[in-house]
Amino acid sequence: MDFSPTPERQMVAESLSRLLAEHLDAERRRAIAYVAPWHDPTLWAHLCELGVPALLVPAEQGGFGGAGFDITTAFQPLGAALCTEPMLGHAMALAALVALDAPVSEDMVSGNSRYVLAIGEPDVPYGLDDLETTANRAGDGWQITGRKSVVAGAQSATHVLVAARHGDGGIGLFEVGADAIDLTAYGMVDGGGAAELFFDATAAHAISLEADAALTTALTAGLLALSAEAVGIAERLVDLTQDYLRTRQQFGRPIAKFQALQHRAVEMSLHLEQLRSITVRAAASFGTPDGPRHAAMAKLLVGRRGRLIAEEAIQLHGGIAVTWEAEVAHLAKRLVMIDAQLGDADWQSEMLAEALA
């Protein structure tokens, strides 16, 4: 089977890479990623003008993509550029609505309205089991009570899709305007923003009262997006490290000539190819019954091999790799922290073991 990107996806990826190179160099990224609102609204507008949100939606619902490889086409360049725009939460919200065959507004497809999907809670950070946030009927509408934790991108969202357990015992999906939520925003250690969301009989609109399957699809899309982002970061780390080894002189010759360092550089490349291959596999099966399992396998490997790539990049660069000005430091930090989003390697391993038991 040929997994080469289609000419259309290749064109989108190249256009996105050029856009990010023009508007988000390393210095610019350091200036915006760690200061509220932890992203650049102007860059978000450029991404939307290019059609990145529309790439995540099928044509029948107003977009021009929606497949697994469309997700990787968008998120791999975003990863390589260390982009902190709140695209992950928006992509997961889109995936949930598409899976429900629910209406997707033109503003959402265009990115004029920024959505995030809120699932995780303090005691239930990753999955759908044992959610404590509740939704109760209130006249013709609904009210939500509970808390959602570490919701990436929520600090700048206009709308939030909330997973909550309702009176019938099922899990529903509810839409809430961001201005109606008690929200505490903060910056993440690797750049970008997130928020704690507090609901106290907050008015909400019910999108679906049977959203378990759609939320699983949204989580699968999130895992795939993070895996693709990790591949983009890992590629950049490998390239930077190889360039450094060829440039850095020791004992009158480039340190790339030393066999021990050559072996370590090759191991980095091998880890990268493993990440790339398993992410391609997850993208190919997105939307099939095997999709969640393959996405979990990809995220598990990202947690394990991604950390090794980050550590090797830092060690082979030496002390410069832990300075604020070094691009490699920010790349390595983000690659390690991706493991913590939507379930780390240990959690994914446990979920896969339970599924195979």
Q: What is the pLDDT of residue 167?
A: 83
Give the mean model confidence (pLDDT) for residues 235-240: 98
Residues 6+ apart with CB under 8 A from 236: 79, 80, 327, 331
Model confidence at 100, in pLDDT bands (50, 70, 90)?
Answer: very high
Residue 3 has pLDDT above 80, yes or no: no
74: its two tokens: 């968008």
* pLDDT single digits (tens) 4-42: 788 899 999 999 999 999 999 999 999 999 999 999 999
Give the mean model confidence (pLDDT) for residues 97-115: 95
* pLDDT single digits (tens) 205-235: 999 999 999 999 999 999 999 999 999 999 9
Which ranges in 40-171 belong to alpha helices (H)? 41-50, 52-55, 68-80, 87-100, 106-110
Give the mean model confidence (pLDDT) for residues 141-159: 96
The domain 214-356: what is its CATH number? 1.20.140.10
Q: What percent of the chain has pLDDT over 70?
A: 99
Residue 75 has pLDDT above 80, yes or no: yes
- Collapsing DSSP to helix, strand or coil, 325 comes out as coil
- Amino acid type, 236: R
Report the alpha-carbon distance of residue 158 to residue 40 in Å, rounded: 15
Q: What is the pLDDT of residue 168?
A: 76
- Collapsing DSSP to helix, strand or coil, 341 comes out as coil
Q: What is the pLDDT of residue 354?
A: 86
Model confidence at 125, in pLDDT bands (50, 70, 90)?
Answer: confident
Model confidence at 1, in pLDDT bands (50, 70, 90)?
Answer: low
Q: What is the pLDDT of residue 238?
A: 98
Q: What is the pLDDT of residue 57?
A: 96
Question: How many beta carbons lie within 10 A of that of residue 216, not counting itself?
Answer: 16
Range scoring the smallest mean pLDDT among 123-127, 242-246, 324-328 = 123-127
- For the chain, what is the largest distance between any 2 Cα atoms, rounded to a whole number of angstroms? 79
The domain 116-210: what is its CATH number? 2.40.110.10
CATH number, domain 7-113, options 3.40.50.720, 1.10.540.10, 3.30.1280.10, 2.30.42.10: 1.10.540.10
Angle at 188 between CA 108 and CA 315, to 5 degrees: 120
Residue 96 has pLDDT above 70, yes or no: yes
Task: Map out the domains of the chain as residue ranges.
Answer: 7-113, 116-210, 214-356
* Site of tokens 């939320």: 215
Residues 6+ apart with CB under 8 A from 189: 333, 337
Residue 143 has pLDDT above 90, yes or no: yes
Which one is predicted more confidently, 162 or 249? 162
Whole-number average pLDDT of the chain: 95
Question: How many beta carbons lie within 10 A of that of residue 286, not counting itself?
Answer: 24
Model confidence at 355, in pLDDT bands (50, 70, 90)?
Answer: confident
Model confidence at 252, in pLDDT bands (50, 70, 90)?
Answer: confident
The gap from C-alpha 325 to its chain's centroid, in whole angstroms, comes to 24
